[in-house]
Amino acid sequence: MASAAVKGLAGTRQRQQVAAPGWAPRHRRCRCRLAAQAGLLDLLRGAGSTEIATDAEGEELKAWLIERGLPPPKLAAAATPGSGRGLVAAQPIGKGESLLSIPQQLVLTPAAALEQSCLRPLLEEQPLPAWSVLALWLAEQRAAGSAGGWWPYVRLLPERTGCVLEWSEEEVEWLCGSQLHSDALEIRAAAEASWAEMQAVLAAAKAQGRAPAHGAFGRAQLQWAFAVLLSRLVRLAGLGDQEALLPWADLLNHDCAAASFLDWSATEAAVVLRAERRYRAGEQLLISYGQKTSGELLLSYGFCPDLGSNPHDGCRLLLELAPGDAARNWKAAALRQHGLAASQLFPLRMAAAPFELVHYTAFSAAVVGSRQEAEQLARRLFEEGDIPPALQTAALEAVVAACKAALAAYPRSFDGDRAELDRLQDQASAAAASGGAGDGSADAGQQRRRHALQAVVYERQVLSRTVFVLQQELKDVQRLARRQG
Ligand SMILES: C[S@@+](CC[C@H](N)C(=O)[O-])C[C@H]1O[C@@H](n2cnc3c(N)ncnc32)[C@H](O)[C@@H]1O
């Protein structure tokens, strides 16, 4: 059971992808051109000599890794306003240049963690999921302090990440009505299940005197480790989808408009990153953590991009085959052949027509008399992308009804949430203008509230916009039907 839950958690972690062309933000090309021009100006001004305020501990980690085989990167660690440490260009960088190449021995895969773990004999006897092995390794290294083999890396890991594992129950309730609420509960339940699942190993470790410093594997220590993993683990598609910690490279921050990401290169036998454009010396290098909505970023990484700045923002709508449909089993089998399930989440975006989900509801609404008929219709809808005219109205109506039901599921009024969000945004702007004086923890709590509100306000705007667009389409379909009839 725990491993199923852990799978759910894995699904929420960094899945780094290239931005789909349809979703490239309009301003991007323009920004690149400006950046290229800025790069040229910098060269003329001798930007190579720009002084960079580097971060001492981050640079010490880089030097430590270089001693262990890291080819010297063209990047430097630096403090970045509002996002902790980050990596900046240490010199002007050209498009396509190699920025980082992390050799295998510095990639912290679950296998590497197991190899180094004090619990290794026990974990070989009673294997735990990769996620738990890494968490135990992190907790062990942290407890060992400077005596541990990876202290230069572990001491840089944040005390708190802001991810949903650190939220109070009341804070999680702010997401009620949204699919994010189910995600949040699932992530927290997975961490709980992982904690429960490792108790037998921890008890054996205690009995055999294998656990290191007192309390190294306590609940709070493992909670910290789970939060670190949720906000830093990178899935390496080129390494069979393994998830790993990437020391120093995990200082890279996220940009919703970035296309580059870290992945394993078999030819270079290393995790690599190339420059997707030119960079000035001192400019921060940002990568993509995946095409995530702002709410998803909030749950895993504890930050939320500014409203309107995330081209992947939106919400997910849950659609299901009608439970009472006599053809439900045939339909479910036919859906599976197209990678869809009898209960399926669909992403909605502000500016995208949700064709796939209209096809899904057309399939759900259709009356089919056999398995073959279900398969035939599924092929027409999901392979050829064609909706039989007779199903169009019912499909559009079903999506509109599903969006309205999703809107009604939010417990608080849209206007009330919007007003509170505006107020918190004004307060945040005023605090930023006055230098951000005040109690840090109160600020963090207020920021979380603002981010949660931002997510649930935007989701409802997307749902309302989808209702509007589909109602227009419904009118067109009905007008056409009247003309033809
Ligand atoms: C993989 S780590 C990146 C390094 C991190 N900044 C640090 O100081 O250790 C991910 C964390 O960086 C921060 N972060 C990354 N991108 C950000 C962004 N665009 N805005 C704000 N915070 C960001 C968040 O705290 C997130 O949990």
Distance 462 CA to ligand 1 centre (A): 26
Give 315: exposed, middle or buried? Use CB within 10 Å, 0-12, 13-18, 19+: buried
Distance 478 CA to ligand 1 centre (A): 49
Does the CB atom of residue 58 touch ligand 1 within 6 A? no
Contact present, 333 and 46 (Cβ < 8 Å): no
Q: What is the maximum span of the chain, computed from C-alpha positions, in angstroms?
A: 82
**R_g over Cα of the chain:** 25
Residues with Cβ < 8 Å from 58, sequence gap 6 or more? 76, 77, 78, 85, 156, 248, 251
Residue with tokens 């430097």: 76
Contact present, 122 and 205 (Cβ < 8 Å): yes
**CA neighbor of 215 nearest in space, from 140, 327, 165:** 140
ipTM given for this complex: 0.99
**CA neighbor of 317 nearest in space, from 454, 169, 470:** 470
Does the CB atom of residue 81 touch ligand 1 within 6 A? no
Residues with Cβ < 8 Å from 164, sequence gap 6 or more? 172, 184, 187, 188, 230, 298, 299, 300
Q: Which of 83, 85, 448, 450 to mutate to test the pocket of ligand 1 (most atoms within 8 A of CB)?
A: 83
Q: What are phi and psi of 30, to 5 degrees?
A: -60, -40
pLDDT score of 21? 24
pLDDT score of 440? 57
39/245 Cα distance (integer angstroms): 32
pLDDT score of 156? 97
CA distances (Å), origin 139, targets 154, 192, 215: 9, 16, 10
Residue nearest (by alpha carbon) to ligand 1 atom 4:
251
Strand partners, 89: 75
Run of H or E including 77: strand 75-79
Does the CB atom of residue 13 touch ligand 1 within 6 A? no
Does the CB atom of residue 161 touch ligand 1 within 6 A? yes
Does the CB atom of residue 109 touch ligand 1 within 6 A? no
Domains and CATH numbers, the chain: 1-305 (3.90.1410.10), 313-485 (3.90.1420.10)
Strand partners, 263: 272
**CA neighbor of 481 nearest in space, from 393, 387, 398:** 393
Query: Collapsing DSSP states into helix, strand and coil, what is residue 318?
Result: strand
Residue with tokens 């580059």: 260
> Mean pLDDT for each consecutive 10-residue tract of the chain (485 residues)?
32 31 26 32 39 90 98 96 94 95 97 97 97 97 94 97 97 98 98 98 93 88 98 96 97 96 95 96 96 97 93 95 96 97 95 86 96 97 93 95 97 98 93 67 85 97 96 92 82
Distance 249 CA to ligand 1 centre (A): 12
Strand partners, 244: 234
Does the CB atom of residue 82 touch ligand 1 within 6 A? yes
Atom of ligand 1 nearest to the CA of 86: 6
Q: Which of 88, 153, 253, 256 to mutate to test the pocket of ligand 1 (most atoms within 8 A of CB)?
A: 253
88/321 Cα distance (integer angstroms): 49
